[in-house]
């Protein structure tokens, strides 16, 4: 069976642009529904796919957080090259962490983080999640159980090296949180099975933004963008974007 590879997307609409950033081991599908909703509300949206993501796990192991950050910068430049001078960013999980980094690196109108880690204190849970990701990918190839088991074991021997590189990335972002001054919306699912519930409050307390809000989603798990409360998320993100000081408003 041939696996159809996901693609980045750009949904053009009005002059206000939003950069949407996906999760670790995820791809643009993480934020596609949010993207379509915002497009209908006259926002232009662009979602890149970081190198190694949306492909075989072996390809992901060939990349690193520095490459993914470069991909985020290129995505920001892509929106600017299309003529969009006012850009907000919204990111899920790793995408939220990269959104925080973008918030103190580039000029933005606003920031949305969703189920975003700021401490590297969940290596065991991340490793289990990575193993599930590898298993699901291999199962889509309709291989035998024995072959799948061998492939998973082989990939997981190399996975810790990549997963541990998330630590220095988060350490750097955490140290720079006080540099963030723009309006910020934080969304944290209460049933998050991947990161602790202390991450979002830490971000809230340490950014320097005067306009900031932390919303808790009682029924959602980590991938909150596709979970039970996704429609609430769509409307909360839209309301936040509408509150920003866009030109001509």
Q: Does the pLDDT at position 120 exceed 60?
A: yes
User: Cβ neighbours of residue 34 under 8 Å, at least 6 residues apart?
Assistant: 20, 45, 90, 225, 230, 233, 234, 237
User: Cβ neighbours of residue 249 under 8 Å, at least 6 residues apart?
Assistant: none
Domains present along the chain, CATH in parentheses? 9-119+170-242 (3.40.50.1820)
Q: Does the pLDDT at position 166 exceed 70?
A: yes
Q: Which residues are catalytic?
A: 93, 192, 222
For β-strands 111-114 and 87-92, DSSP reports them as: parallel
- Residue 214 pairs with which residues in a beta bridge? 186
- Residue 46 pairs with which residues in a beta bridge? 10, 19
d(CA 219, CA 199): 18
Q: Does the pLDDT at position 45 exceed 80?
A: yes
Residue 135 near residue 148 (C-beta atoms within 8 A): yes
CA nearest neighbour of 26 among 2, 59, 44, 50: 50
The whole-number pLDDT of residue 246 equals: 97
pTM (predicted TM-score): 0.97
For residue 41, name the pLDDT band (cuts at 50, 70, 90): very high
Please write the tens of the pLDDT for every residue from 127-165: 999 999 999 998 887 778 888 899 999 999 999 999 999
């Amino acid at each position: 069976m041939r696996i159809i590879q996901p693609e980045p997307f750009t949904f053009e609409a009005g002059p206000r642009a939003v950069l949407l950033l996906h999760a670790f081991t995820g791809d643009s599908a993480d934020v596609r529904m949010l993207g379509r909703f915002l497009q209908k509300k006259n926002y232009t949206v662009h979602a890149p796919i970081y190198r190694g993501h949306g492909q075989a796990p072996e390809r992901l192991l060939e990349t690193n957080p520095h490459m993914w950050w470069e991909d985020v910068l290129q995505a920001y430049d892509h929106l600017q090259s299309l003529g969009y001078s006012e850009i907000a960013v919204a990111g899920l999980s790793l995408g939220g962490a990269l959104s925080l980094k973008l918030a103190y690196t580039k000029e933005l109108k606003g920031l949305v983080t969703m189920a975003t880690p700021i401490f590297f204190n969940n290596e065991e849970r991340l490793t289990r999640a990575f193993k599930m990701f590898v298993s699901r990918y291999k199962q889509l190839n309709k291989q035998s159980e024995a072959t799948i088991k061998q492939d998973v074991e082989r990939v997981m021997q190399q996975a810790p090296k990549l997963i541990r590189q998330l630590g220095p990335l988060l350490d750097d972002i955490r140290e720079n949180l006080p540099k963030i001054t723009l309006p910020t919306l934080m969304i944290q699912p209460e049933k998050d099975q991947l990161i602790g519930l202390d991450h979002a409050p830490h971000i809230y307390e340490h950014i320097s933004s005067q306009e900031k809000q932390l919303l808790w989603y009682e029924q959602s798990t980590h991938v909150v963008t596709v979970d039970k409360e996704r429609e609430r998320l769509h409307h909360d993100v839209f309301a936040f974007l509408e509150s920003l000081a866009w030109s001509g408003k």
